[in-house]
Amino acid sequence: MSIEAIAKDIRKRAEAYRDETAKILSDMVKIKSYSSEEEDVCKHIAALCERLGFDEVKIDPLGSVLARVGNGRKIMAIDAHIDTVETGDVAQWNKDPFSGDIEDGLVHGRGSTDQKGGAAAMVTAGRILKDMNYAGDWTIWFTFTVMEEDCDGMCWKYLIEEEGLVPDYALSTEPTSCRLTRGHRGRMEMEVTLKGVSAHGSAPERGDSAAYKAARAALAMEELNTDLQPDEENFLGKGTVVVSQIEVKGPSQCAVPDQARLYLDRRLTWGEDAELAIGQVKEKIGKALGMKPEDVNCVMPDYAKTGWMGTAYSQELYFPTWKTDEHHPLVQAGVAGYKGLYDEAPLIDKWTFSTNMVSVSGRHGISAIGFGPGDEDQAHAPNEVNRVEDLVICSAFYASLIYALDANG
């Protein structure tokens, strides 16, 4: 069968499964799955993939579902995280956040776009590949991963470093509005602690206020954010830093505070890393407070949590920047796969937010792309929805990509 005929067949099958794919997403949305509490949805997905005839289905010790199609010599990972953030203020929602309602071409509810929409399209893509008796060069692992919202990429650090699942290429199905993405900024978290000297509030001149130090340090971070520059290619854009939390403590409400803590969210463009970012913070705050940079206490915290399977795991809160060159064979296969389906090239873009690819590509150097249903601005927002049409497009694209990779050798 020619590549044109294969693409036509895939598109026809994806369209035929439209309603079923929407129902798959609806059913997932109805199952609450906050980070480290994904047991019910993971068991649901595993049972679904088994029922649809995937070649192998298993759950790793951290709790992620791994569903395989094919037995080729190369490994392609197609990833969706299936945990979600919480609902926030339910009064801001027009529907039950877990209704999973399908109305007017939309699937409603928390996680419909971030990120169960991608997961639903993956299930249908695997089903299409099985229907077509795929037997090419690729082993495709559809990975439905856990705890991304708490610590993006840790699930893949575990898969690569502990389970030995090292793909040749990877695809994230985070929302891209059906654009082809090839990178995003990295990120890290930092904690700055400042010390003062306490005194009675009636005589603040006797003390050294940690609160005022924190205020000057926060303004120094505002200045640093202004100073940061975009990457040389100007593809990912500029890095950013923001003070996300400030805490000040003292002996009482009537005392000069002697302790302060600033928590920083730092987005890293291409060429920036943790060492550079920490050095910039120390330099700016040191100048603002009249301290030597090396005396500024700025550290990168660790994240540690136990997954629903009972496995504890941890990593530092550092998520490296990544991008894949636009001429890379994986990007070009993505373009070819999309053009085969829709007779036009996809828009090539980047994400604003972070994904599991910080580990797959940023940490471990595995080439990756992204393509997912729904819009980025739906992530973490009330009244989250996803388009059924996007699910159809994505399920077709994931299957078509594999054949495009085969065609490109």
* Chain segment 312-338, per-residue pLDDT in tens: 999 999 999 999 999 999 999 999 999
* 175 and 37 within one domain: yes
138/277 same-domain check: no
* Average confidence (pLDDT) over 82-111: 98
Tell me the mean pLDDT in the region 276-297: 98
pLDDT at 48: 98
Average pLDDT of the segment spanning 173-185: 98
Residue 215 has pLDDT above 80, yes or no: yes
Are residues 279 and 364 located together in one domain of the fold?
A: no
Tell whether 64 and 211 lie within a shared domain: no
Query: What's residue 300's pLDDT?
Result: 97
Q: Which pLDDT score, from 0 to 100, does residue 3 have? A: 82
Q: Is the pLDDT assigned to residue 1 strictly greater than 80?
A: no
> Residue 311: inside a domain, yes or no?
no
Q: Are 264 and 395 in the same domain?
A: no
Any domain includes 309: no
Q: Answer yes or no: is pLDDT of 166 > 90.
A: yes
Quote the pLDDT of residue 296: 98
CATH code, domain with 380: 3.40.630.10
- Counting beta carbons within 10 angstroms of the beta carbon of residue 31, is it exposed (0 to 12), middle (13 to 18) or buried (19 or more)? buried
Amino acid in the structure at residue 154:
M
pLDDT at position 153 is 97
pLDDT digits (tens, 9 = 90+) for 4-58: 899 999 999 999 999 999 999 999 999 999 999 999 999 999 999 999 999 999 9
Assigned token pair, 119: 């997961």
| Residue 334 domain flag | yes
**Model's pTM, two decimal places?**
0.95
Q: Does residue 159 share a domain with residue 232?
A: no
**Domain match, 212 and 287 both:** yes
What pLDDT shows up at residue 194? Answer: 98
* 57, 61, 63, 159, 256 from 311: Cα distances, Å: 19, 6, 8, 13, 44
In a domain? residue 336:
yes
Task: Give yes or no: residues 238 and 294 share one domain.
Answer: yes
Q: Is the pLDDT of residue 268 over 80?
A: yes
Per-residue confidence (pLDDT) for residue 315, from 0 to 100: 97
Per-residue pLDDT band for 408 (boundaries 50, 70, 90) equals confident
pLDDT at 155: 98
Q: Are 147 and 35 in contact (CB under 8 A)?
A: yes
Q: For residues 87 and 95, is the Cβ–Cβ distance under 8 A?
A: no
What residues make up the domain containing 78? 3-185+321-407
- The CA distance from 231 to 271, in Å, is 7
Task: Indicate if the pLDDT at residue 105 is higher than 90.
Answer: yes
pLDDT at 212: 98
Provide the domain count of the chain. Answer: 2
Is residue 409 scored above 90 in pLDDT? no
- pLDDT above 90 (res 188): yes
Catalytic residues: 83, 148
CB 319 within 8 A of CB 187: yes
* C-alpha dihedral (232, 233, 234, 235), degrees to nearest 10: -140
